[in-house]
Amino acid sequence: MSQHDGTPRRVIVVGGGPAAHRLADAIAARDLVDGSRDLDITVLGDEPHLPYDRVALSRRLDDPTADLTLADGSVWQHPAIRYRGSSAVVAIDPEARTVSLADGELLGYDDLVLATGSWATVPAIPHADAGRVYRTIDDVDAIVSEMLDLRTSLGRSPNVVVVGGGLLGLEAAGGLARLGGRVTVVHSGGWLMSAQLDEGAGQALGRLIKAQDIELALGTRPSAVTLAPSGKVVGVELGDGRALHADLVVFAIGITPRDELARDAGLEIGPRGGVVIDAACASSAPGIWAIGEVASIDGVCVGLVAPANAMAEVVADRLSGGNAEFPGIDDATKLKLSGVEVASFGDARALSPGALEVVYADPARGLYQKVVVSDDATTLLGGMFVGDAAPYTSLRPLLGRELPAEPGAYLAAAGAEPPAGGELPDDAPLCSCNNVSVGTVRAAASGDHGSHGEACTDLGALKACTRAGTQCGSCVPLVKKILETELSKAGIEISRALCEHFELSRSELFESVRILELTSFEQIMERFGTGYGCDICKPAVASILASQHSEYILDNGRGALQDTNDRALANMQKDGTYSVVPRIPGGEISPEKLRVIAEVAAQFDLYTKITGGQRIDMFGARLEQLPDIWRILVDAGFESGQAYGKSLRTVKSCVGSTWCRFGVQDAVGMAIELELRYRGLRSPHKLKFGVSGCARECAEARGKDIGVIATDTGWNLYVGGNGGFQPVHAELLAQDLDHDTLIRYIDRYLMYYIRTADRLQRTARWQEELDGGLEHVKAVVCDDSLGIGADLERAMAEHVDNYEDEWAATLADPERLRRFRSFVNAPETADPGVVQVRERGQPRPATPEERESVLIAGATIPRREAD
């Protein structure tokens, strides 16, 4: 509130992290509501950056240029709020109500908010100062720089030890593995995330992490960092007597509240550190508040987003004259650690008297789902999920309430579908980060809120209006579902926006790009998008451009839109090597070409396997070897099988009438024709075909996106099938077709699917969700009900006429070949950190135990001698 003399009340916030940002944002929001400007806010951060999202630090490991700034920074444009970076506070004087900065400046305050956060904890062991911590942008940037230097100087993948198997440790481990490190996680608990997960969930998480080639040393602590005489890190000694080879050590074992300013100023400090606060978030000194990780409430400091935001809202309300109180600690969390979903909420460990646990565990798949309920199995007390956290979104708002169905109905890993009956009550919490209820989101979506009464009819507006889903994002699916429900009730068309950067759906964007003949992501973003794009829209746009233009997919800046496999034109395997999969149309191959494959596999010592799609895979090629391998294959008449792309993979066939006494049509000839016609066709998801020469169905054509089965008078065409996690049988589209009609219908079907499907949507799901389903597809493809048949056929003909093999195009251009180097500064240098052993006469990746014995010895076994 303003002073009695009418001057604004001076508020200084010490700390430039997420809690400080939330406080400034909350104060700005109140200003916009009441129109007053009786507070003057100065936020002092000791980092040079604007407040950023620490939860997203792993993005900085993947992309050193990633901007992690919270929101859009507009709060710092408010006339009464300013942010000062690189302004470290070194002392507080509660009596004089001043703060001293490192440069000697003295600032007075009426209210002081401590939002100093925490330090990364470093264990008190010999030479710990030679390691690095994982806490700030500068920490991460330094780690990335050191990793690059190590790869160049060592000529191999650096060995990295990450100390800490909690949230930060696993994020760091995943990012360092993606940077090419051979990572071992050391954790004192018997399983990962032992402070948050029970043993079953921790074991499931450990299995998934190990599947990413990250090694685990559990139930032990580091006792010392080992240094060479030069001072270089060479290893880590463990408390159980083991020694790990290490070129880099990263500590991510927890946080220590940054409470030194408060200690020196005489404020009350909690038994485990942190500034003691009451329900109003006020400290023991008048006019001083504390929020976030530095605040100790009920003897606990919490390093989670939701409690920090709740504290910031309380202080913003108090500074504005209100009487809000901290509602208590909500430790619900949903994260994706190294690509693995982890979530928990409520009494996830079933500590309540009489609590029952309903558990589904599949150790082989790394899945664990648990719902905790009251002793009569009706009231939801908590939940814990690893590997598949889909139930979290629908269960979290029901905490403490009676479940509308049996608990097991929410265990998606066991194949159950969450019950659809009954809407969530308005007072159910939806977004724990920002303390937003279901009713708040529902009212905003329907227009029944505030003084304006205007409905938020798209996801972006709804998030901005309510703040739901703007922090961790785990509640966004439920926010979207509520929005769609309310819009449907109002008779408003539901938004099918591709993402927050594109208001158009994928199909709308596809048509717009096609009509305007746009050829680059920049052109598309300038015309239809906002911002810089994201992991959703970038690959989707890359796919759209690849489907419409028969051009090299990595040219003209498109390489940055692609994932790892497309950028390498090969599938990356678990040990960092790549697979080589030449196309073998219809499974037919000559002895001469078989001989070439054998010679290549022998020359480069590759593991070979015949796949279910009638091709020969060769595994274990290093990145710099791919051009040499493909040069031999291309010269022999092979081309890319595009096992790495969302495109046609294979056309499986039986021998048909050529050899089989039951065959009625030439299945091999048809399979070869289809594979050569549709090779390289980029689509929303991968495509597989099958051609069977009779009704005995030896090619399993009905388990494919396109299935062709011979009859006495022609061909039956089946569409929309697939194998995989959710197998679907293809459905009969048309029967007894002649050759030309069959090709015409497949042309139309594929191009209609490519133009109208959602991103990463398989033909089966697309077909199911079309209004009218298969009958609609029949009308469009067979009857040309939309009058676009000729256009779809022309589009396919353009693809066929302009097809170019991607590997042949790569080999013909020296500039394109520059991508295929393991080490930029030493392009011919192999990665000797790739350790393989021989099994059944072929090389395979070494197990963690096999690799550890090699690395501890301080040498790498040459691949051909690792028997």
d(CA 600, CA 588): 19
Q: How confident is the model over 711-732, as pLDDT tens digits?
A: 999 999 999 998 765 678 899 9
Pairing type for strands 98-101 and 118-120 reads unpaired
Give the pLDDT score at 468: 81
pLDDT in tens, 787-825: 999 999 999 999 999 999 999 999 998 888 887 765 444
Q: Does residue 864 register a pLDDT over 70? A: no
Q: For the domain 646-804, what is the CATH code?
A: 3.30.413.10
Which strands form 222-227's sheet, in the order they lie side by side? Answer: 222-227, 233-238, 243-245
184 in Cβ contact with 213 (< 8 Å): no
Which pair of tokens denotes residue 552? 């090299």
Taking 60 as the threshold, does the pLDDT of residue 282 lie above it? yes
How does residue 452 score in pLDDT terms, banded at 50, 70 and 90?
very low
Asked whether residue 534 is marked as a ligand-binding residue, the answer is no
Residue 609: name the closest of 837, 842, 835, 836 by CA: 842
Which pLDDT score is estimated for 3?
58
pTM: 0.58
Rounded average pLDDT over 554-581: 77
Q: Which residue has the higher pLDDT, 613 or 481?
A: 613
User: 95: which 2 tokens?
Assistant: 């009596």
Is 768 within 8 Å of 753 (Cβ atoms)?
A: no
Distance in angstroms (rounded) separating the CA atoms of residues 534 and 476: 16
Instruction: Tell me which range, 30-44, 78-92, 165-179, 836-850, is most confidently predicted by mean pLDDT.
Output: 78-92
Instruction: Give the confidence band of 453 by pLDDT, cuts at 50, 70, 90.
Output: low
Confidence of residue 420 (pLDDT cuts 50, 70, 90): very low
Q: How far is CA 47 from CA 17, 89, 254, in A?
A: 9, 11, 20
Residue environment code for 464-499, b if the CB has 16+ CB neighbours within 10 A, otherwise e: ebbbbbbbbebbbebbbebbbebbeeeeeeebebbb
CATH topology of domain 9-118+257-319: FAD/NAD(P)-binding domain (3.50.50)
Q: Based on C-alpha coordinates, what's the Rg of the chain?
A: 30
Provide CATH 3.50.50.60 ranges for the chain: 9-118+257-319, 128-253
Average pLDDT along the chain: 86
| pLDDT score at 837 | 82
Lowest mean pLDDT among 109-113, 132-136, 451-455, 505-509: 451-455
Query: CA 348 to CA 385: how far, in whole Å?
Result: 9
Q: In sequence order, which residues have a C-beta less than 8 Å from that of residue 643 and are 6 or more positions away? A: 570, 571, 579, 581, 615, 617, 649
- Higher-confidence residue: 772 or 706? 706
Strand partners, 662: none
**Taking the C-alpha atoms of 220, 225, 228 and 230 in order, what is their torsion angle to the nearest 10 degrees?**
160
Q: Which CATH class is domain 128-253?
A: alpha beta
The reply to whether 698 sits in an annotated binding site is: yes
pLDDT recorded at residue 836: 82
Distance of CA 482 to the CA centre of its chain: 24
Predicted confidence (pLDDT) per residue in 600-636, tens digit: 999 999 999 998 888 999 999 988 899 999 999 999 9
CA dihedral 302, 305, 310, 311 (to 10 degrees): 50
Output the furthest CA–CA distance in the chain (Å, rounded): 103
Residue 654 counted as an annotated binding residue: yes
Distance CA 718, CA 525 (A): 38
Rounded average pLDDT over 179-192: 93
| Distance between CA atoms of residues 540 and 560, nearest Å | 12
| Pairing outcome for strands 295-296 and 275-276 | parallel
List, by residue range, all CATH 3.30.413.10 domains of the chain. Answer: 646-804
Annotated binding residue at 660?
Answer: yes
- pLDDT confidence of 72, banded at 50, 70, 90? low
Contact present, 371 and 341 (Cβ < 8 Å): no
